[in-house]
Structure 1
Amino acid sequence: MRLKPRAPDFTIFLAVILLLTFGIVMVMSASSVKAAYYYNDPFYFFKRQFMWALVGIAVMIIAMRFDYRKLARFSKPFLLVSLFLLVALFIPGVGKNIMGATRWLNLGPGSFQPSELVKLAGVIYFAHNISKEPHKLADFKKGLLPYLAIMGIIGLLILAQPDLGTAMAVCGTLFFMLYVGGAKKQHILGLGALGIVLIALAAILEPYRMRRITGFIDPWADPVGTGFQTLQSLFALGSGGLFGAGLGQSKQKYFYLPEQHTDFIFAILGEELGMIGAVCVILLFFVLVWRGIRVSVACPDAFGSILAMGLTVQVALQAVINMGVVSGLLPVTGITLPFLSYGGSSLVFTLSGIGLLLSISRFNR
């Protein structure tokens, strides 16, 4: 029996709007010095982020009103298009290199990150195919191996950009979906151990990644080199204290902390809004993940249940990695904080995923 659609989960919607509000305000504050220096306009990044936030909210509402079950038939072409765009990055003149990384496609006045598209496409494809034949996952060769091959292709294409953080987040999400979908525990444990080895190899084989790990282990050994970002981030968080220095009063954004409005925006938030502000953001992510899991559990069909879990884990994993890096618990990786960090592609596709999660919640039991 098909359930009639009802109102979406308001708690998820409210948590996302509050996180987005935090993000827009912090982008305005964290980027003001850099924007004034490079563009002679302290609101340059803020205005662009605000525009993308409006676009993202519109897309989220459209996705929320869309019947998620109709997505299943488009899962394969959606994934193929996203993989094609990832490959297109390496065509001369098509990919845009910024700070040694080719992660953006040239679109005339703007740019676009295909890895953000493949995050969403991969989750939809895995949810559809796992729900269609869940019993196959128990068979390693015929069931699990094809999914691992797709994960490997996605991971290698993102890793080649290079972008180890995003590759970990995408593959980690898809891997968790295989576990939720019914893969055997011994297969998951064995593959998890193999994944850790492969991540270690990816770090060892690239000198700059190895320097990041040594900088993470002992940042004071090279405080103006490999340990610089970690130390400056910790200085920002530590100087914020309980209540913070006040909105707009950050010292680290004056070119002490690199990527202050993208990867390390949480450090500026902690400096200006203190531990109270940081805890509020963490709690909002916790509420979002908790409600997302509830939506997954209450969903009446397997496709929606696995899709909701994948969308929720994707946001949670990316947030954990980013905040782990900012607080010095993980080595530095170039991964943004969902809803808060500056970036149009990331914001729009993350909000698209939330829209689908809200769509699933409308059909819950």
Structure 2
Amino acid sequence: MDKQLLKKIAKSYDYPLIIAIFMLCTFGLIMVYSSSMISAVVRYGLESDYFYQKQKLWLIIGMFAFLCTMIVPYKVFAKKRWVLTIFFGMPAVLFAVFIAGHTANNATSWFKFGFFNVQPAEFVKLGLINYLAAVFANKQESLSKPAKGHVFPIYYILFICTLIAIQPDFGTAIIILLICCMMIISSGIRLGLLFKQILFLSMVVAILSPFWLPVLGDEIFSKERMSRIDGFLEPFKYADDAGFHLVNSYLAIGSGGLKGLGLGESIQKYGYLPEAHTDFIMSIIAEELGVFGVAFVIGLLAFIVLRGLVIARKCRDAFGSLFAIGVSAMIGIQTCINLGGITGLIPITGVPLPLVSYGGSSLLLFMMSLGMLVNISMFVKYEAHYKGKDKSTNIVNISQKKGLTF
């Protein structure tokens, strides 16, 4: 690859998007330290910078993954062998969690590797985005016509979501379902066919309820899960129990005001707001940095999501376009669910804030996904500026085998 081509590739990268991503990661790292320094010592008996150091290590790993997916041409991930690996690999890994997984907070959702805990369900999000983008990109010519083969991905998605839900991890299962819905709707599939399948599945679930309710009913309608609904509907009535998190989240957000109490000056992180560095990190941001801090985070996340949708619109390749939509939907949906939980708009689901909350699996997932998004953006810009002008370069004509036919 000659120097001229490398210069053209370098000029084609979306630097505003890259800067926004790293600004958010750096800010998140600072807030992880600020929000966890007290609980690390008092609650866990660790060094004050314990969670900060772990998050920093995950960020370094994430940056490496980001660079890899940013450089490797995205069409490589549309190859049949890769998609087949994802197709069979995702259920295999999720089944392995039940056999050799680590249980924490009444959920068997992690693999424990000494110093690290890895949550496979996080990476299933990216796997399904890749799978759906490849499958529907391959079916573009026939999606407007009724065909039985179009509904197979829908049943596969439900199968994967069921495996995650019975861990149990309903929050992740719901997010995956919403991401996949956005991709399916954007794929060009006949909406009539989609509605028929939803109606059919609803009838099947209702008919089979005498069989699955005795197995999953206790988990779905467990006392702990119902208490979350009580805490959501009447948080101040259950302020000492189910509404404890939400009430203290309100106190943190309300006491921050316009400018906040100052970085590191949060009161709620002194044991009043549990999980301050994970699910409720935005509450601490609001308390310490006020409206300006919240606006900064939401603004950067909104910029990334909107940038992703613009990239999807400009991309001429169906796989790249659907992949960009999936990544944008993942970040947007997870942000809305996290913010909805800490503000009492929806029940608390335990979903981290993208790129900001503490959590290695989540951070690594988003860095890999955003690296792909930057890669797609680079190809779009390169094609717009250089394709046809320089016949010696063929970067946009990477060979691609046909995708899956099922």
What secondary structure does 2:109 align onto? strand
* Residue equivalent to 1:109: 115
Unaligned runs of 5+ in 1: none
Q: CA deviation at 1:186?
A: 3.9
Q: Name which of structure 1's ranges 141-150 and 65-74 shifts more when overlaid on structure 2.
A: 141-150
Q: Decide whether the 8 Å contact of 2:14 with 2:378 is kept in 1.
A: yes
Q: Decide whether the 8 Å contact of 2:31 with 2:281 is kept in 1.
A: yes
Q: CA deviation at 1:194?
A: 9.1
Shift >6 Å, 4+ stretches: 190-198
Question: 2:31, 2:304 → 1: CA distance?
Answer: 20
1:312 aligned onto 2:328: yes
1:131 aligned onto 2:137: yes
Distance 1:228 1:138, change over 3 A: farther
* Residue equivalent to 2:94: 86
Q: Name which of structure 1's ranges 68-77 and 354-363 shifts more when overlaid on structure 2.
A: 68-77
Q: Deviations over 1:316-343 (max 9, x none)?
A: 1111100110111110101111101111
* Residue equivalent to 2:391: none
Question: 2:122, 2:90 → 1: CA distance?
Answer: 9
* Residue equivalent to 1:209: 225
Q: CA deviation at 1:305?
A: 0.6
Q: TM (normalized to structure 2)? A: 0.83
1:34 aligned onto 2:47: no
2:342 counterpart letter in structure 1 = V
What secondary structure does 2:354 align onto? coil
* Residue equivalent to 1:240: 256
1:98-247 alignment, distance < 5 Å? 98-138=104-144, 142-188=148-194, 205-247=221-263
1:279 counterpart letter in structure 2 = A
What secondary structure does 2:355 align onto? coil
Q: Decide whether the 8 Å contact of 2:151 with 2:197 is kept in 1.
A: no
Question: 1:118, 1:36 → 2: CA distance?
Answer: 34
Question: 1:196, 1:228 → 2: CA distance?
Answer: 35
Question: 1:16, 1:248 → 2: CA distance?
Answer: 23
* Residue equivalent to 1:21: 26
Distance 1:107 1:194, change over 3 A: farther
Distance 1:36 1:310, change over 3 A: same
Q: Name which of structure 1's ranges 347-356 and 141-150 shifts more when overlaid on structure 2.
A: 141-150
What secondary structure does 1:90 align onto? helix
Unaligned runs of 5+ in 2: 1-7, 206-212, 385-406
Which one of the candidate residues 57, 72, 76 is aligned to 2:63? 57
- Report sequence identity in percent: 36
What secondary structure does 2:379 align onto? coil
Question: 1:219, 1:42 → 2: CA distance?
Answer: 31
Question: 2:194, 2:280 → 1: CA distance?
Answer: 32
* Residue equivalent to 2:337: 321
Q: TM (normalized to structure 1)? A: 0.92
Question: 2:147, 2:271 → 1: CA distance?
Answer: 52
Question: 1:196, 1:285 → 2: CA distance?
Answer: 35
Question: 2:379, 2:255 → 1: CA distance?
Answer: 46
Distance 1:40 1:65, change over 3 A: same
Q: Decide whether the 8 Å contact of 1:325 with 1:333 is kept in 2.
A: yes
* Residue equivalent to 1:332: 348
Question: 2:226, 2:152 → 1: CA distance?
Answer: 31
Question: 2:343, 2:191 → 1: CA distance?
Answer: 32
Which one of the candidate residues 38, 46, 52 is aligned to 1:46? 52
1:75 aligned onto 2:83: yes
Taking only aligned residues, the RMSD between alpha carbons, in angstroms, comes to 2.2
Distance 1:322 1:98, change over 3 A: same
Q: Decide whether the 8 Å contact of 1:11 with 1:291 is kept in 2.
A: no
Q: Decide whether the 8 Å contact of 1:140 with 1:187 is kept in 2.
A: yes
Q: Decide whether the 8 Å contact of 2:257 with 2:290 is kept in 1.
A: yes
Question: 1:191, 1:316 → 2: CA distance?
Answer: 26
Question: 1:108, 1:213 → 2: CA distance?
Answer: 35
Distance 1:8 1:251, change over 3 A: same
Q: Name which of structure 1's ranges 109-118 and 259-268 shifts more when overlaid on structure 2.
A: 109-118
Distance 1:204 1:214, change over 3 A: farther
Q: CA deviation at 1:234?
A: 1.0
Q: Deviations over 1:249-296 (max 9, x none)?
A: 111111111111111111111111111100111111111111101111
Number of residue pairs matched by the alignment: 358
The structure that has the greater radius of gyration is 2
Q: Decide whether the 8 Å contact of 1:119 with 1:170 is kept in 2.
A: yes
What secondary structure does 1:342 align onto? coil
Question: 1:240, 1:297 → 2: CA distance?
Answer: 39
Q: CA deviation at 1:191?
A: 6.5
Q: Name which of structure 1's ranges 36-45 and 180-189 shifts more when overlaid on structure 2.
A: 180-189
Question: 1:253, 1:303 → 2: CA distance?
Answer: 44
Q: Decide whether the 8 Å contact of 2:38 with 2:270 is kept in 1.
A: yes
1:349 counterpart letter in structure 2 = L
Distance 1:215 1:195, change over 3 A: farther
Question: 2:145, 2:349 → 1: CA distance?
Answer: 34
